[in-house]
Amino acid sequence: MSTNRALEGVGTFLDDRLHGARGIRVFLRKVFPDHWTFLLGEIALYSFIILLLTGTFLTLFFQPSMSTVVYHGSYTNLDGVSMSRAYDSTLNISFDVRGGLLMRQIHHWAADLFMAAIMAHMIRIFFTGAYRKPREVNWLIGIILFTLGLLEGLFGYSLPDDLLSGAGLRILEGVLQSIPIVGTYLAYFLFGGPFPGTDIVPRMYMLHVLLIPGLILALVTAHLFIMVFQKHTQMPGKGRTNTNVVGQPMYPYFMAKTGAFFFFTFGILALAGAFAQINPIWLYGPYNAVAMSAGSQPDFYMGMLEGALRVFPAWQWVVFGHTFAFNVFIPALLPLGALFTGAAFWPFIEQWVTGDKLEHHINDRPRNAPTRTAIGIAVITFYGVLWAEGANDILANHFDISLYLTTEIARIAWIVGPIFAYIITKRICLGLQRKDVHLLEHGVETGIIRQLPNGEFIEETRPVDEEARAILESRPHYQGLPEATGSDEEVPAPGMRGAIGKARERLYHVITESVPLPTNGHADGHGNGHAIEGNGHSVEGNGHAEPAPAAVPSGPGQSGNASDDEPPASDQL
Amino acid sequence: MSDTNAHGQPGEPARGDDLMADLAAAGEPGAGTGRAEGPHAPHRVIGTPAPAEARTMLADEPEGRAAPRELPADPEDPVRAKRAERVVAALFVLAMLAGLGFIAAYVIFQVHTVNNTLHSNLALGITMGIAFLALGAGATIWVRHLMPQIEVSEERHPLASTPEARAAFAETFEEGAEASQFVKRPLIRRTLIAATVPVVVAPIVLLRDLGPLPEKSLDHTVWKKGTRLVVYGTNRPLTPADFNTPGSSLSVIPEGYAENDDALAKAATTLIKFRPGQLQAPTVMNWTVNDIVAYSKICTHLGCPAALYEQTTHHILCPCHQSTFDAARGATVLFGPATRPLPQLPLTTNAQGFLVAQSDYREPVGPSFWERS
Amino acid sequence: MSWITARRRHPAAGYAILLLGLLLVGAVYASVVGGGSAASAAPPAPANQAQITAGRTIFLQDCATCHGFAAQGTNAAPSLIGVGSAAVDFQVSTGRMPLKESDAEAARKPPQLNPAQTHAVAAYIASLGGGPAIPSGAEVNTSGANVGLGQKLFVTNCAQCHNFVGAGGALTYGKYAPPLTKSTPTQIYEAMLTGPEAMPVFNNTTITPDQKRAIIAYVTKTRVQANPGGFSLGRIGPATEGLVAFLGLLLFMVLVALWITAKHGKTSHE
């Protein structure tokens, strides 16, 4: 009782001044839907918090200076070696501060996990269509966070000024230098003169501990606020509509779950810090401009850029006393730039092609958006080919592949791979949709065999249960493109005119291609919007002449079921 | 938050009214839509109730409870819950012990040698990991088995404001714009913009002193006529007799610059000894001494030290991006993204017989840049 | 029925079988894959005629088919005149020679000749045309060596092929710089001195014996050094770290997420 009185006291104190009772109560009762894929973003969030905590510890001991010292510390292999203060202080943290090595390792593992989780989360958002209205702003914030995370990680692992990360900085300088017109100025301004100079580590330090974490923190806060305000999306299911959220309330359920998840994140990172050595800078040695190691790699999230640099052929153009170093600035800027730009524009492109202006709060099952899923897999394949090429010397050495062959394969695979991936993925999605339609029409096998009077054996089926039906029948709702006007529909709508309009129409059919649900009254269509061609199928406006599923010949005992359920085919919107 | 609207403008519908309409449509206020029976959790609808029914944050007053509970008080199976409670408690005790263990490990395990660091790291990391994982596992079991399983739903509201709200906003905005005179007096508007432009540009200007202008510094290295070649790491100068085994390869630097990384980042050089007759055009033979040739070690792709020398193929391979240069033929590019051959350092011997440079490299070393012709 | 048969449909039965299979395969594989080579132990006694004759016999048996009866070389193998006893000792004690299969590069394998035989052949080859000699015990004794200098020299001249600790790296056309984990100090010295296959030569006037000892000290000390951060993940850098991040950390968190959000009490679906 006294705890209640104390809580009452605190609550009254705050409410008297800040007026929170109603608002905070709303927040406490907010419903959060439950699906494991919704926790991927939390992995990133909690990794970030752990980065802040461990990073603060490290800043107490790290010295961001490139002045030279001669080492006489605990790591005797490097005794008498001259090195920068930054490297020296990192050795100090590792070998002369209790818990220092653990904090360094947790920090670096958390950075890796942060980036991996962002990738997984972004992929989940894409494949379930959770970036659609009203969440486009959050999607854009997410892309910015991804970019900031990349930079943050790059600067972070370059701070100790070791051989491996120093080589990475050299590559960064070379990339900057290659940019036409302004390149050499950018490089000299960033490094405070010729490479390596003495300014880069202190400058990266400021960016790494102050500016970029501040930006990330602000954007993450906005990202979460928007998500809470708009309420989370949910997976399709029984009782779940576009106008509700089904799940468990924040207090006490979601709070407890998310708290548990934080502990798990911290716990596994602590175990990783204990058992898995990461970034052993004492083995790399201090940076020296004359040395290089075989198998040098950046951290994995920079791997795609590294692969792009390796795969690109030696193209340059020297004209009027100036060099266009295509071999450098194209692979450095184009693939990742195209990826992020394409990702940023994608929600709006999809809206334009499908004419979709509705709010979407129910996630798509990836199979129900075959073209989107296929495009996503193709992009991931493109990323993956370049990522693998980034480690081509490691792969060549460990799998006994000729070194040049890996690059030659990548030079072809970067375009052939995504094409194949698109085709295969789309076919798989359509196949899965057919499987779903088959289940809806013919039911689930029960394993009960029955003999008919004429001697034939059939297996009995039963219709799918309500919950499964709700999931199988969920489909994205496409509003449809604007209709033509005029007495004979000869005046196309404003957005549909000309070559672009025709292209839009064709793209509409490609993007909305789907195996239609069975037309036996169970389709989940609300009939909102008009398909371009009133082809009598469900609202997806499927322009492809897919044979009506009911016409597919089924097994011997199934014909009875199919004809029982099918009403006469009718034009149904 | 969107739902708080206790101080709404007159004429603007309060949030609660929307909800009242929703709830009225659904039936009695606070009632569930479609309670499922059986072993599944009861299903309720949560909406923001009308202000009159708003409950407070205060402690429960059993006699004052007017509406039915939203959340059940206890889980369904008390026996199972009891078991779960014991497991959760055990996990929390484990977490506490591990946390204490962490503190003890910090005190007990010293560092300062590699092996000690290993033990300290293991002890600290394992205790910390167990502590957090046990906390997480305990919390998870708590939620899953001790809290009553429920499923609730909450109504979504269209995110777009009502047309009346938008209209009111537009009115307020326009009135304010008019009152501010911003639109009606173009002179102050334009001069304001003119005033702010330099303020915005100034921070960019402030960045000018980040570094010196490159000017011609990328075109030269510190190599000069007569600079001796010394072995990097030992600073020993070399005579051709020292470096006389065919197939030898070595990293050399200009004498006196061993501590100057800025200079070495461009001046690092690879020395290679060939058999007679192996060196061919476009290697400049006048720049070699006794079949010893010197190439820049700085890769012309992105500046990594490229010194992976294969004696048998006489290829120089840069390990970064696999640019390959033919050392017997003037370091021409054979494979990979590099576009220019490695510059060759003109060599000769001085009066004492040591290998020295004839001059600086005759072209800029390292990665290409805009001003490089 | 037996205990195992009664549990053949246990939910964990599949996993148990898989685990058993993996362990079995691993054990068989580990037992057939060769181990390290026996080092050339004590430095050889000064060559005498008996040793040279014995060496010649072995040479004619095991080497002459490729290297020619007078070690003059053939299409299949280079001349050995002037390579010196160090080169022979290196190649034979690491098992590279006699060559078993023709590949992009001769691989280290269990040596075919014992140390005495190796030294005999080396003495014979040295008698044909001189060349660098097998280093003495004192020459490869790393006590008192400057490990810091060794690190600097190694990382400048060796790491671009062999990686920063000597874990190995890829060269072109299927060649590779092998890991240095099994090399004895003598073998490392000899390799630097003679430049086997694609490796360049670092003679004693370029990298002096003192400096060679420093490099050997660095390599041998680092490879036995404990990894204070835990498992080394191969000491090849961030590639394996990224693998662990995805397949270890992220996968673990996904499994935890599956657990946290699972609906308990729900039996199997339709």
- CA B21 – CA B27 distance, rounded (Å): 10
Percent of chain A whose pLDDT exceeds 70: 90
pLDDT: which is higher, B10 or A467: A467
- Closest Cα of chain B to C30: distance in Å? 28
Q: Which residues of B touch A293 (CB under 8 A)?
A: 319
Q: Please give the residue of chain C at the shortest CA–CA distance from A405.
A: C173
Say if CB A68 and CB B90 are below 8 A apart. no
Is pLDDT above 50 for A569?
no
Closest CA to A193 of B144, B218, C262: B218
Beta sheet of B43-46, edge-to-edge order: A31-32, A244-249, B151-155, B43-46
C-alpha dihedral (A68, A69, A75, A78), degrees to nearest 10: 60
Please tell me which of the candidates C160, C227, C229 has its beta carbon nearest to residue B307. Answer: C160
SS3 call for A42: helix
How confident is the model over A410-456, as pLDDT tens digits? 999 999 999 999 999 999 999 999 999 999 998 998 989 999 999 99
Q: What is the DSSP string of A525-546?
A: ----S--SS--SS-TT---S-P
Percent of chain B whose pLDDT exceeds 70: 82
Q: What is the DSSP string of A59-117?
A: HTT------EEE--SS-GGGTT-EEEHHHHHHHHHHHHSTTHHHHHHHHHHHHHHHHHH
- CA A105 – CA A111 distance, rounded (Å): 10
Preferred mutation among A70, A122, A235, A296 to probe C, highest tally of C CBs within 10 A: A296
* Nearest-5° Cα angle at A505, A128 to A476: 25
- Closest Cα of chain C to B243: distance in Å? 6
- In Å, what is the CA distance from B54 to each residue of A5, A15, A105, A523, B30? 21, 15, 50, 40, 12
Q: Please give the residue of chain B at the shortest CA–CA distance from A194.
A: B262
Say if CB A255 and CB B197 are below 8 A apart. no
Q: Based on C-alpha coordinates, what's the Rg of chain A?
A: 29
- CA A338 – CA C263 distance, rounded (Å): 41
Please tell me which of the candidates C152, C173, C225 has its beta carbon nearest to residue B233. Answer: C152
- CB contact under 8 Å between C201 and B245, yes or no, is yes
Q: Please give the residue of chain A at the shortest CA–CA distance from C145.
A: A77
pLDDT given at position A245: 93
- In Å, what is the CA distance from A438 to each residue of A463, A551, B282, C25, C96? 11, 11, 71, 42, 63
Is pLDDT above 80 for B54?
no
Alpha helices in A276-402 (DSSP H): 281-284, 303-311, 326-354, 370-390, 392-399
- CB contact under 8 Å between C174 and A400, yes or no, is yes
- In Å, what is the CA distance from A436 to each residue of A162, A430, A441, A517? 55, 10, 9, 9
- In Å, what is the CA distance from B120 to each residue of A265, A430, B131, C192? 22, 55, 16, 38
Question: CB contacts < 8 Å between B and C, how many?
Answer: 110
What values do phi and psi take at A234, rounded to 5? -140, 155
Q: Which residues of A touch C167 (CB under 8 A)?
A: 295
In angstroms, the first-to-last Cα distance of chain A is 61
The verdict on whether omega for the bond into residue A516 sits within 30 degrees of 0, i.e. cis, is no
pLDDT given at position B44: 56
Neighbours of A367 (CB within 10 A): 20
Q: Name residues of chain C where pLDDT drops below 50.
A: 34-41, 266-270
Interface of C with B (CB under 8 A): 149, 152-153, 156-157, 160-161, 169, 171-173, 175, 195, 197-203, 205-208, 211, 225-230, 256, 259-260, 262-265
Q: What is the largest CA-CA distance in chain A?
A: 96
- CB contact under 8 Å between B311 and C211, yes or no, is no
pLDDT given at position B69: 81
- CB contact under 8 Å between C170 and A112, yes or no, is no
Please tell me which of the candidates B117, B245, B251 has its beta carbon nearest to residue C157. Answer: B251
- CB contact under 8 Å between B154 and A244, yes or no, is yes
- CA C174 – CA B234 distance, rounded (Å): 34
- Closest Cα of chain A to B224: distance in Å? 19
- Closest Cα of chain A to B151: distance in Å? 5
pLDDT given at position A495: 80
Q: Please give the residue of chain B at the shortest CA–CA distance from A325.
A: B368
Is pLDDT above 90 for A545?
no
- CB contact under 8 Å between A314 and B333, yes or no, is yes
What values do phi and psi take at B272, rounded to 5? -130, 140
**DSSP class of residue C234?**
G
Is pLDDT above 50 for B8?
no
pLDDT: which is higher, A188 or B17: A188
How confident is the model over B283-293, as pLDDT tens digits? 999 999 999 99
Mean pLDDT of A95-100: 96
- CB contact under 8 Å between C155 and A464, yes or no, is no
Q: Lowest-pLDDT range, A62-66, A475-479, B199-203, B271-275?
A: A475-479
pLDDT given at position C263: 82
Q: Which residues of A touch B217 (CB under 8 A)?
A: 194
- CB contact under 8 Å between B133 and A267, yes or no, is yes
Is pLDDT above 60 for B352?
yes
How confident is the model over B155-196, as pLDDT tens digits? 998 899 999 999 999 999 999 999 998 888 999 999 999 999
Ramachandran category for residue A358: left, alpha or beta (phi over 0 → left; psi -120 to 50 → alpha): beta
Neighbours of C152 (CB within 10 A): 27
How confident is the model over B141-154, as pLDDT tens digits? 999 999 988 889 88
Buried b / exposed e along B162-193 (16+ C-beta atoms within 10 A): eeeeeeeeeeeeeeeeeeeeeeeeeeeeeeee
* Residue with token string 């923190």: A217
- CB contact under 8 Å between C148 and A393, yes or no, is no
Is pLDDT above 80 for A532?
no
Which residues does residue A210 pair with via DSSP β-bridges, in sequence order? none
pLDDT given at position B49: 46
* Residue with token string 């403008």: B9
Is pLDDT above 90 for A169?
yes
Q: Which residues of A touch C218 (CB under 8 A)?
A: 77
Q: Please give the residue of chain C at the shortest CA–CA distance from A286.
A: C152
Preferred mutation among C79, C172, C215 to probe B, highest tally of B CBs within 10 A: C172
- CB contact under 8 Å between C199 and B311, yes or no, is yes
- CA A255 – CA A249 distance, rounded (Å): 9
Closest CA to A187 of B264, B363, B211: B211
pLDDT given at position C174: 87
Is pLDDT above 80 for A487?
no
Please tell me which of the candidates C156, C197, C228 has its beta carbon nearest to residue B117. Answer: C228
Q: Positive or negative, the Cα torsion across C220, C222, C228, C231?
A: negative
pLDDT given at position C149: 93
- CB contact under 8 Å between A279 and C147, yes or no, is no
Strand A82-84 relative to strand B151-155: parallel, antiparallel, unpaired?
unpaired
pLDDT: which is higher, B78 or C28: B78
- CA B290 – CA B304 distance, rounded (Å): 28
- CB contact under 8 Å between B152 and A249, yes or no, is yes
- CA C40 – CA C111 distance, rounded (Å): 10
How confident is the model over A170-204, as pLDDT tens digits? 999 999 999 999 999 999 999 999 999 999 999 99
Tokens encoding B300: 């012309």
Q: Based on C-alpha coordinates, what's the Rg of chain B?
A: 39
- Closest Cα of chain C to B218: distance in Å? 24
Q: Please give the residue of chain C at the shortest CA–CA distance from A167.
A: C160
Mean pLDDT of B85-104: 97
Ramachandran category for residue B181: left, alpha or beta (phi over 0 → left; psi -120 to 50 → alpha): left
Q: Based on C-alpha coordinates, what's the Rg of chain C?
A: 25
Please tell me which of the candidates B115, B242, B307 has its beta carbon nearest to residue C205. Answer: B242
Preferred mutation among B5, B126, B153 to probe A, highest tally of A CBs within 10 A: B153
Q: Please give the residue of chain B at the shortest CA–CA distance from A181.
A: B370
Mean pLDDT of A16-28: 90
| Neighbouring subunits of A (3+ Cβ pairs under 8 A) | B, C
- CA A440 – CA A445 distance, rounded (Å): 12
pLDDT given at position A212: 98
Ramachandran category for residue B232: left, alpha or beta (phi over 0 → left; psi -120 to 50 → alpha): beta
Say if CB A394 and CB A295 are below 8 A apart. yes
SS3 call for A200: helix
